[in-house]
Chains A and B, each alone.
Chain A
């Protein structure tokens, strides 16, 4: 799977223009770590319901799981194997039930 496209196309473009030999790759990705959601996941305190799609080119499954696996609060994942970055059937109902459960 070529991850250097769609949402990550800019990373590829940046390295092609500014660092073709990837000499500063560690420094650049460390800087990007400040806004990496996976590092912020530990700050979540509420209960989480998350849908994960395995055919997603925009948010690849590894990025979704990297975040989900770092959530320390109570959590549940719904895995959509045949879906990409799109509308997910039944997920709205699950959200509704999840929110109703939180109300109790």
Chain B
């Protein structure tokens, strides 16, 4: 029994048992062997004259690209592009896409600036286990001082995350938020620590220790009940 006939697998081309006997249908040229013997012999006798010219592409520093030329069968000059891994420095000049190079330079510049700032801050901040005094050379204004916790002072530079901006006290932090004036038509407020509804107060509601009571309903000229907010003048 053919072992693979009964296996229900997806077959895109031919059944496997046919493929195992398949030998192709493309015709073989009569002078196939002659052609390849001659071609390989010619190739052995051909000097490749390899020429590799570096190409600056997009200022990429992680790869190098070369224009590759060599001589093939029949003296034909073959051209190819050959990439290679490398750490080539980007040239100061332009590239194929100037705006992309500008973006890349800007990003690299930002990273370098951040690293430089971080190095400077670390150099300024006291190291763990060192005296935490302001008179240290290069001590920063916002470095851990006596008013900081012991843990933060002993942590030194490690207490600051390099990814966060340095804490800088603003006026609101020092003095608290500015106190706003109450809205003249505010609804709720406090009188002697007790919450009152100012709209009811304005409408004449009586204040009692337990709860607020609405004023007794008044009758308007047309005989209907009116809102206690708008008491009828008598």
Interface residue ranges, A against B (CB under 8 Å):
1, 3, 26, 29-34, 36, 38-40, 43, 54-57, 60-63, 65-67, 69-70, 79, 81-82
In the complex, are the beta carbons of A60 and B28 less than 8 A apart?
Answer: no
Task: Name A's interface SS.
Answer: helix
The listed residue (A3, A30, A55, A60) touching B27 by CB distance below 8 A is A30
The listed residue (B11, B12, B28) touching A33 by CB distance below 8 A is B28
In the complex, are the beta carbons of A38 and B19 less than 8 A apart?
Answer: no
Interface residue ranges, B against A (CB under 8 Å):
7, 9-14, 16, 19-24, 26-29, 32, 35-36
In the complex, are the beta carbons of B26 and A36 less than 8 A apart?
Answer: yes
In the complex, are the beta carbons of B13 and A1 less than 8 A apart?
Answer: yes
In the complex, are the beta carbons of A39 and B28 less than 8 A apart?
Answer: yes
In the complex, are the beta carbons of B9 and A1 less than 8 A apart?
Answer: no
List 23 A-B pairs, Cβ < 8 Å.
Answer: A1-B13, A26-B27, A30-B27, A33-B27, A33-B28, A34-B35, A36-B24, A36-B26, A38-B23, A38-B26, A54-B16, A55-B10, A61-B13, A61-B14, A62-B13, A62-B22, A62-B24, A65-B22, A66-B22, A67-B24, A69-B21, A81-B10, A82-B10
Q: How far is the CA of A31 from the CA of B13 in the complex (A)?
A: 24
Task: Name B's interface SS.
Answer: loop
CB closest chain-A residue, reference B27: A30
In the complex, are the beta carbons of A55 and B20 less than 8 A apart?
Answer: no
Chain A residues positioned under 8 Å from B11 (CB to CB):
54
Q: How far is the CA of A69 from the CA of B17 in the complex (A)?
A: 12
